[in-house]
Amino acid sequence: MRGIFIFAKESFMAVKKYKKSDDISYALGATVTMELLNRRGTCARCVYVSPKSEVTAVVDKAKSLGIPVVESEKAFNILSPKENCYVIGEFSKFASQAKSDRHHVVLVNPSNSGNLGTIMRDVAAFDCADLIIIRPAVDNFDPKTVRASMGAVFGINVEVFDSFEQYIAKYADRVVMPFMLNGSPFGKTRFDADKKYSLVFGNEATGLPDDYAKYNPVRIEQSDKVDSLNLSVAVSVALYKLYVS
Amino acid sequence: MRGIFIFAKESFMAVKKYKKSDDISYALGATVTMELLNRRGTCARCVYVSPKSEVTAVVDKAKSLGIPVVESEKAFNILSPKENCYVIGEFSKFASQAKSDRHHVVLVNPSNSGNLGTIMRDVAAFDCADLIIIRPAVDNFDPKTVRASMGAVFGINVEVFDSFEQYIAKYADRVVMPFMLNGSPFGKTRFDADKKYSLVFGNEATGLPDDYAKYNPVRIEQSDKVDSLNLSVAVSVALYKLYVS
């Protein structure tokens, strides 16, 4: 089987532990790497394959794109020491832009890598909105986020802003709908088909600052048996309703 | 601070690694242990506190219920070696029953402990349905499930059956609504306020067997950018709509 690989010497690429400031990141696992190759193949730099693996589809795909395949134990020890991971796709970070004629999911100061990835997956699943992230925020290219997104990060538009004001200045003419505990019941909301909506969610622990209340907030109804909804549950419930409306 | 503890010698309780066949399990962490004490205090057997911790609320609560508090490093090494966990609640497993006048969420052969816990949390959040589990299934008292539920396991009704036939024989007179990829659009579903619904979801990887199609299946609309929805996303989207209908 190994004969079909485009081998490259291990020294060809210098694998380093991921840092936010790097201009490259990593797709951990065969499924995520396949999404990288299929959807953002031009950003793929290299595919690492574990000597233990017998993965062929992802190697064939990399070959067809002319992307080097490196058999390396070391890459896995550095990037994914604890996990059952036998393929890693190295990619250049890329910028994408939201579209003004789409709805938006706006995450204000998200702080959990796994949550952000899960939300990217929700955004891909209910594909009617682009994703906006307001800093400070967790790194949207963190390998943990990329992995939790199951590669959705390669198929959606994500735009990052330094403040909500900068975002809303660029994308005016929308209905801003913040999700806050003191909002009106979301279940009664009717979306106007002629309008574009920005569904705005706060930080996992602290929610949105009070001044978002000026935008007519809504609240996803919930029982008093839980303190609050998980952020990705809130996003999927809200986005699904917009998707089918 | 230690003076307020009801100390018990470490030998008082023999801590063992969790096994599914045991009649006891463990709530890992202060939040989850507090839910145990508040909602199923009669099942609590003992609270372990790490020598590193300064937790008092949970200790006060255990004291008020007459539950022994044991300061033990060993318990944490055995039960939670890798995690930031400073309180563990040991409890006797308990049986609960679904109610015939409530809706049900039915999980057929769930296989992921974390997913099951997350779904328990959804069931607590959108509190209109009891949870049914059809075996073979992941252990609903696994400490990983208990933790992922954030203690919701102590506040909801969960009933386990050996087969779907046994379940439906006991709980007749309901609308069985299986979620399958070839179902009709869930977004168009209108719930009849006079009826009780059983929302039925299959295994994370394999879905429901084909013979569930006889019950008029529905499908949560989704784009082709993802292979399938995460099980807990599907449950929360479906259950929220039932909750607010």
The pLDDT score that the predictor gives to residue A8 is 56
The size of the A-B interface in CB pairs under 8 A is 76
The pLDDT score that the predictor gives to residue A202 is 98
Domain boundary among A34, A69, A92: A92
Average pLDDT, rounded, for chain B: 92
* A132 and A225 within one domain: yes
The pLDDT score that the predictor gives to residue A88 is 95
On whether residue B98 sits in a domain, the answer given is no
Mean of pLDDT values over A180-194: 96
Q: Among A152, A237, A243, whose Cβ lies nearest the Cβ of B236?
A: A237
- Whether the per-residue pLDDT at B157 is higher than 60: the answer is yes
* A135 and A70 within one domain: no
The pLDDT score that the predictor gives to residue A83 is 72
For residue B55, what pLDDT band results from cuts at 50, 70 and 90?
confident
* A113 and A81 within one domain: no
On whether residue A171 sits in a domain, the answer given is yes
Domain boundary among B40, B73, B92: B92
Q: Do A226 and B152 touch (CB under 8 A)?
A: yes
Closest CA to A198 of A178, A216, A182, A213: A178
B152 close contact with A: CB closer than 8 A:
yes
For residue A52, what pLDDT band results from cuts at 50, 70 and 90?
confident
Longest dimension (CA), chain B: 64
Higher pLDDT, A203 or A7: A203
Task: Determine the distance in angstroms separating the CA of A9 from the nearest CA of chain B, rounded to an integer.
Answer: 35
The pLDDT score that the predictor gives to residue B81 is 76
B73 close contact with A: CB closer than 8 A:
no
- Whether the per-residue pLDDT at B11 is higher than 70: the answer is no
Q: Find chain A residues with C-beta within 8 A of B179's C-beta.
A: none
Label residue A219 exposed, middle or buried (CB < 10 Å: 0-12, 13-18, 19+): middle
CA distances from A58 to A62, A75, A82, B40 (A): 6, 17, 22, 50
Q: Which of residues 8-67 of B touch A (CB under 8 A)?
A: none
- Tens of pLDDT, residues A76-91: 989 987 778 899 999 9
Share of chain A above pLDDT 90, in %: 82
On whether residue B233 sits in a domain, the answer given is yes
B98 close contact with A: CB closer than 8 A:
no
* A43 and A123 within one domain: no
Whole-prediction pTM? 0.91
Considering its fold, how many domains does chain A have in total? 2
Q: Which long-range contacts (CB under 8 A, 24 or more apart) does B167-170 make?
A: B167/B106, B167/B132, B167/B134, B168/B198
Closest CA to A198 of A115, A116, A132: A132
On whether residue B138 sits in a domain, the answer given is yes
Longest dimension (CA), chain A: 63
* A61 and A180 within one domain: no
Q: Find chain A residues with C-beta within 8 A of B235's C-beta.
A: none
To which residue do tokens 């930031």 refer?
Answer: B84
Q: Do B223 and A121 touch (CB under 8 A)?
A: no
- Tens of pLDDT, residues A98-107: 999 999 999 9
* A231 and A172 within one domain: yes
- Tens of pLDDT, residues A135-146: 999 999 999 999
- Whether the per-residue pLDDT at A71 is higher than 70: the answer is yes
Q: How long, in residues, is chain A?
A: 245
- Which domain covers residue B181, as residue numbers? 103-244
- Whether the per-residue pLDDT at B9 is higher than 70: the answer is no
- Tens of pLDDT, residues B75-115: 898 998 777 889 999 999 999 999 999 999 999 999 999 99
Average pLDDT, rounded, for chain A: 92
Q: Give φ, ψ of B69 to 5 degrees.
A: -115, 125
Mean of pLDDT values over B58-73: 92
| CATH code where residue A42 lies | 3.30.1330.30
The pLDDT score that the predictor gives to residue A7 is 55
On whether residue B97 sits in a domain, the answer given is no
- Tens of pLDDT, residues B129-144: 999 999 999 999 999 9
* B22 and B132 within one domain: no
Q: Find chain A residues with C-beta within 8 A of B156's C-beta.
A: 225
Residue A109: left if φ>0, alpha if ψ -120 to 50, beta else—which one? Answer: left
Task: Determine the distance in angstroms separating the CA of B130 from the nearest CA of chain A, rounded to an integer.
Answer: 13
Q: Which of residues 154-173 of A touch B (CB under 8 A)?
A: 155-156
Residues 6+ apart with CB under 8 A from B183: B216, B217, B218, B219
* B208 and B147 within one domain: yes
Nearest-angstrom CA–CA distance, A130 and A52:
38
Domain boundary among B26, B59, B92: B92
- Whether the per-residue pLDDT at A128 is higher than 50: the answer is yes
* A180 and A124 within one domain: yes
On whether residue A98 sits in a domain, the answer given is no
Among all residues of chain B, which has the CA nearest to that of A154? B225
- Whether the per-residue pLDDT at B64 is higher than 70: the answer is yes
Higher pLDDT, A9 or A35: A35
The mean-pLDDT minimum among A66-70, B200-204, B225-229 falls in B225-229
For residue A25, what pLDDT band results from cuts at 50, 70 and 90?
very high
* B144 and B114 within one domain: yes
The pLDDT score that the predictor gives to residue A4 is 45
Q: Do B223 and A127 touch (CB under 8 A)?
A: yes
Q: Find chain B residues with C-beta within 8 A of A157's C-beta.
A: none
On whether residue A201 sits in a domain, the answer given is yes
Mean of pLDDT values over A112-124: 96
| CATH code where residue A164 lies | 3.40.1280.10
B242 close contact with A: CB closer than 8 A:
no
* B129 and B83 within one domain: no
Closest CA to B53 of B11, B2, B122, B114: B2
